Amino acid sequence: MINRTRETQGNNFIFGTRTVIEAIDSGKDIEKVLVQNGIQNDLIKELVSKMKGLKIPFSYVPLEKLNRLTRKNHQGAICYISPISFKSLDNVIETAYSMGKDPFLVILDRITDVRNFGAIARTMECAGADAMVIQSRGNAMIGGDAMKTSAGALNILPVCREDNLKKTIEDLKSTGIRVVGCTEKAKQLIYEADFKGPIAIIMGSEEDGISPEYLKLCDDLVKIPMPGKIESLNVSVSTGVVLYEVLRQRMQ
């Protein structure tokens, strides 16, 4: 029996250098590609060149990792096919404005638990958010577990994958979209903040919250009141609390 790691379970992956190149050439949405360390043949060079040109996430890994994922002849390349099609953030924002509504975005900074990822997507769709914005590296893979936990929301909610999240935040601000970070470092409670108008909410990593470089870019910082003894909420729960305060204000 093949011993697959948890990373592989529930994800659609293909292998073989030529097969991966053909998948890229056909326009399939790629989650990420694993390439064996040390291989320098022409096909691998062609694959790496294509991935760099198209900004497809990839990483070099030891042969042993690839062998754990499949015993078949992977030729040094394994590719995860995304079950969703990533959307253009510019198009999402333009669509929102064309419909007469203020854009309502959620930026996820390094949410690595697939179930949290899926639960956040479900809450976002229910709360009427326009899109989820993620960086091309550092977040949970959108595989079977995330799709299941989202209860179908990831089939509906636009997900925009950006190569440089810092630049994306700066671009959003330049177009008049307020960027608000949810962090325990804030002084202002979410109930004291103004969430009306075009807005993007940043939710940070389960481990250490929002990255310092993104915190510095935020127009406002807010926090959820915590009168209990436990000082933090699960990130998917926190996202739900914030998003429904946004929705409450926007419905007034």
What is the C-alpha separation between 145 and 143, in angstroms, rounded? 6
Instruction: Count other C-beta atoms under 10 Å from residue 168's C-beta.
Output: 21
Domains of the chain: 12-81 (3.30.1330.30), 89-251 (3.40.1280.10)
- pLDDT at residue number 162: 95
Kindly report the average pLDDT of the chain as a whole number.
92
Residue-level pLDDT at 7: 39
pTM above 0.95, yes or no: no
pLDDT in tens, 128-172: 999 999 998 888 889 888 999 999 999 999 999 999 999 999 999
pLDDT of residue 160: 97
What would the mean pLDDT of 70-81 be, rounded to a whole number?
94
Read off the pLDDT of residues 84-109 as tens digits, 9 standing for 90 and up: 999 999 999 999 999 999 999 999 99
